[in-house]
Amino acid sequence: MSMELRKAIDQISKDKGIDRDLLVDTLEEAVRTSVMRKFGDEIDIEVSFNEEDGEIEVYQFKAVVEEVEDEGTEITLADAQQHDPGAQMDDELGFRLKVEDLGRIAAQSAKQVIIQRMRDAEQEIIYEEYKDRIGEIASGIIQRRDKMGWIINLGRTEALLPKDEQIPRERYKRGDRVQAFMIDVRREGRGPQVIVSRSHPDYMITLFKREVPEVADNTVSIIGVARDPGSRAKVAVTSHDRDVDPVGACVGIRGSRIQNVVQELRGERIDIVVWSPDVATYAVNALSPAIITRITVDEEEKMLEVVVPDDQLTLAIGRKGQNVKLASKLLDWKIDIFTESRYGELHAELQSLEQIASVAEIPVEKFIVAGYDSMEKLVTASDEQLQEIESITEDKVGDIRSAINLLNSFHSQAAAHEEQDGLKDEEKAPATEAGEESEADEQAEKPVDATDESAE
């Protein structure tokens, strides 16, 4: 070996970004391994790289003894004094070995060890580099597709975009440039494997940090993200500066900022929602654009009962339930949505059950837990079935029957009074006026279509 070895070490260190001392240690270890393979593990050797000469120096050490039992590790005093006149018993003498004498096989073995150690060192550097970049956006070229997903060339290493981390219906071909969010880095036999995602909620947060300076400097915080990747998302935001509108900051002038995020996510619709510490207010914002008329909060069960006008139900639920699902995911609360008419029916039903439970002197919850959540179910239940309800005795079954009959009688009388009042009104009104009112009532029951000219 010569000065060319030192130049090669310097060049490899520069090109691969590998520490020079690590390369030298690797080279010394490779030569040591080759020497041991040729002369055996018993010999005592020392390998070092001479920086001045640019050569590898190998020294074999032997102990000075009276009688040699192992020529590889021992030498007689007479032979030792031929090399060093000052040698004495029990001294250790070093003899330089010529690396060139290792032989072709040993040299090839040393080369393989050096290459492998360099590859390991390079992979470790890449692993450490990308491990610290988890949570960043990576950009690369689609290289190929395998059974796990798409392989992306990031330059120094490869990334895997698994199938379950892709945006549904996105299509790629070899050579496409793509961006993704780094979620993990794994040690693999072929080198570090970077795992990336395009459907992760944090990917959207990182995109907003890149596009919105107020998010990047934490003037506006993103509290949560709920995504249906490739279709729709809801992003909850709040401002730490009362002069900064969090929604306006994220949307940008004429929607320029949010449009950049939408384009990167292949047209995914994004709703910017104002976060509130009050869960009811937060829910109203999250269910936008639907109009909410009433919200009941169950803190213990983390459940919301939301009431909307009848004509707002479809808007509140969304296409395939998407709007309410995303809102529920954003709040991390269960959301049940009722129309005003349905809520009124349920509320009236509950009032009747409460009246009957009061007569039986039991909590109404015991009816509901037992599966009797409507008057109809109580009426059709047999006496034996009712007695299976907790705290219901034979006497209380009689009380329940009496209460049911009383309520039915009351409802029948109320219905009869309403019918009589209606007939009296018809008798008072002229036939033509009654007809006009009837027609007006019919029109009022119909939803008004803004595009219907007759509505004008």
Domain count, the chain: 4
C-alpha R_g of the chain = 41
Residues 214, 215, 217: CA angle, nearest 5 degrees: 65
* pLDDT over 70 (residue 363): yes
> 438 is written with which tokens?
């009837």
Q: What is the mean pLDDT of residues 91-114?
A: 66
Same structural domain for residues 190 and 209? no
pLDDT classification of 413: cutoffs 50, 70, 90: low
Percentage of the chain beyond pLDDT 70 is: 81
Q: Look-up: residue for tokens 């071909």? A: 173
Is position 453 within any domain? no
Query: What pLDDT is stored for residue 182 in this prediction?
Result: 95
Structural domain includes residue 454: no
335: in domain: yes
- Which residue type sits at 209? K
Does the structure show a pLDDT above 50 at 440? no
**Span 376-382, mean pLDDT?**
78
Out of 42-51, 103-112, 255-264, give the one with best mean pLDDT. 255-264
pLDDT score recorded for residue 446: 35
pLDDT at 186: 87
Rounded to an integer, what distance in angstroms lies between the CA atom of residue 113 and that of residue 325?
57
The whole domain housing 153 covers 134-197
Does 260 lie in the same domain as 151? Answer: no
Q: Are residues 177 and 259 in the same domain?
A: no
Mean pLDDT confidence for 130-153: 91
CATH value at residue 224: 3.30.300.20
Of 127, 154, 185, the residue at which a domain comes to its end is: 127
- Three-state secondary structure string covering the chain: CCHHHHHHHHHHHHHHCCCHHHHHHHHHHHHHHHHHHHHCCCCEEEEEEECCCCEEEEEEEEEEECCCCCCCCEEEHHHHHHHCCCCCCCCEEEEEECHHHHCHHHHHHHHHHHHHHHHHHHHHHHHHHHHCCCCCEEEEEEEEEECCEEEEECCCCEEEEEHHHCCCCCCCCCCCEEEEEEEEEECCCCCCEEEEECCCHHHHHHHHHHHCHHHHCCCEEEEEEEEECCCEEEEEEEECCCCCCHHHHHHCHHHHHHHHHHHHCCCCEEEEEECCCCHHHHHHHHCCCCCCCEEEEECCCCEEEEEECHHHHHHHHCHHHHHHHHHHHHHCCEEEEEEHHHHHHHHHHHHHHHHHHHHHCCCHHHHHHCCCCCHHHHHHCCHHHHHCCCCCCHHHHHHHHHHHHHHHHHHHHHHHHHHHHHHHHHHHCCHHHHHHHHHHHHHHHCCCCCCCHHHC
Residue 455 lies in a domain: no
End-to-end distance of the chain based on CA atoms, in angstroms? 99
Query: Is 98 within the bounds of a domain?
Result: yes
State which of 299, 319, 341 marks the end of a domain: 341
**384 and 426 inside one domain:** yes
Asked if residue 155 and residue 91 are part of one domain, the reply reads no
Report the pLDDT averaged over residues 416-437. Answer: 48
Q: State what percent of residues in the chain have pLDDT above 90.
A: 34
Instruction: Give the model's confidence band at 284: pLDDT under 50 very low, under 70 low, under 90 confident, else very high.
Output: very high
Question: Structure pTM?
Answer: 0.61
Please state the rounded mean pLDDT for residues 11-39: 76
Identify the pLDDT of residue 444: 34
Domain boundary among 197, 221, 246: 197
Whether residues 302 and 219 fall in one domain: yes
pLDDT one-digit tens code per residue, 306-334: 989 989 898 999 988 999 999 999 999 99
In a domain, residue 375? The reply is yes
Return phi, psi of residue 396, to 5°: -70, -30
**Same-domain pairing of 110 and 139:** no
Residue 268 in domain:
yes
Give the per-residue pLDDT at 452. 38
Question: Tell me, what's the pLDDT at 266?
Answer: 87
170 pLDDT band, cuts 50/70/90, is confident
In this predicted model, what pLDDT tens digit does every residue of 342-353 receive, in sequence order? 776 666 667 777
**Is residue 32 domain-resident?**
yes
Read off the pLDDT band of 137 (50, 70, 90).
very high
136 against 146, higher pLDDT: 136
pLDDT band at 105 (very low <50, low <70, confident <90, very high): low
**CA-to-CA dists, residue 219 to 202, 240, 275, 277, 433, angstroms:** 18, 5, 14, 18, 64
Same domain, 147 and 169: yes
Domain identity same for 266 and 288: yes
Mean pLDDT, the chain, as a whole number?
Answer: 80
